[in-house]
Amino acid sequence: MNLRKVSAAAACALALSVTAAACGSDDDDSGDSGDGGSKDSITVGIKFDQPGLGLKEPDGSYSGFDVDVATYVAKELGYSADQIEWKEAISADRETMLERGDVDMIAATYSITDERAQKVDFAGPYLLAHQDLLIRADDNIAKGADLNGKTLCSVTGSTSAQNVKDTIAPKAQLAERAGYSECLDAVANGSIDALTTDDSILAGYAAQDENKGKFKLAGLNLSNENYGIGVQKGDEKMKSDIDAALEKMVSDGSWEKFMDANLGPANYDFEPAPKIGDIKE
């Protein structure tokens, strides 16, 4: 038997050679192998405040397209729904959450950009959205130039409205509100003409029971937003496994079912499911 040098503190290993492994074995199993499939749960970042996409319901449950996608992917990775730990992923915190390992993946209307891809990796895309306008159901805005002279709302910190003013309608008036609900109220009462952000987010609000019939999407497709699932930078296996799950989700019809269930009530004219790795500029 070959014995390596040991400290005095480990002398019990020499005296009790039969149970040496119990006195400090190199094969100690900590239960944290770093392999996602060996863990008891998976932590997923989502939005908590976006109806139709990622919403924490009053009863503590979660709903939305991103939630359905993440649940499907987690199942393909070996986790049941009750093994998912949901965490709120505020837009400004997403890269940091992945870098710190606070979450295993993020599915939170997370547009793939070159800047973000320097810090995290993305599986997907799994949805192609566009910047658009939400307007009153009886209103008509056929093109971006129609916004000249109109008032456009966006949430504080968003660049969506400013982008429209800078590149599409320089005479548009801008208004900021603390949240989407405040913008919606202003559009509904006529004090503001339109709300702008991603069409998928707008469709989620329009699909809410209390908003049905009040609003519609203008359908202007002002930009391309490629939603991906963010993972920690360099985790190629996780990225590859998620890509495979997303491909299966599309091929077995689940993707379209999730879209219809969550955003269909808004008559959202969504794009077909994008091909993995196909980023629309």
Fold (topology level) of 38-129+225-266: D-Maltodextrin-Binding Protein; domain 2 (3.40.190)
In the predicted model, residues of the chain with pLDDT beneath 50 are 1-36
Asked if 236 contacts 166 with a C-beta cutoff of 8 angstroms, the reply is no
3-state SS assignment for residue 234: coil
- Please indicate whether the domains covering 38-129+225-266 and 131-217 agree at the CATH topology level: yes
E strand or H helix that includes residue 6 = none
List the beta bridge partners of residue 120: 232
Q: How far apart are the first and last CA of the chain?
A: 65
Under CATH, to which class is 131-217 assigned? alpha beta
**What pLDDT was estimated at residue 157?**
64
Tokens of 231: 């993972």
Strands (E), the chain: 42-46, 49-50, 54-56, 62-63, 84-88, 105-106, 120-129, 131-136, 151-155, 173-177, 194-198, 215-217, 225-232
Task: Spell out the domain ranges in the chain.
Answer: 38-129+225-266, 131-217
pTM for the model: 0.79
Q: What is the number of residues in the chain?
A: 281
The whole-number pLDDT of residue 38 equals: 58
Q: Does residue 200 contact residue 127 with C-beta atoms inside 8 Å?
A: yes
pLDDT one-digit tens code per residue, 58-89: 999 999 999 999 999 999 999 999 999 999 99
The string of pLDDT tens digits covering residues 95-132 is 999 999 999 999 999 999 999 999 999 999 999 999 99
What pLDDT shows up at residue 24?
Answer: 40
- The three-point CA angle 135-228-234 to 5° equals 155
Structure token pair of residue 222: 């002002």
Whose CA is closest to 126, among 233, 239, 203, 205?
239
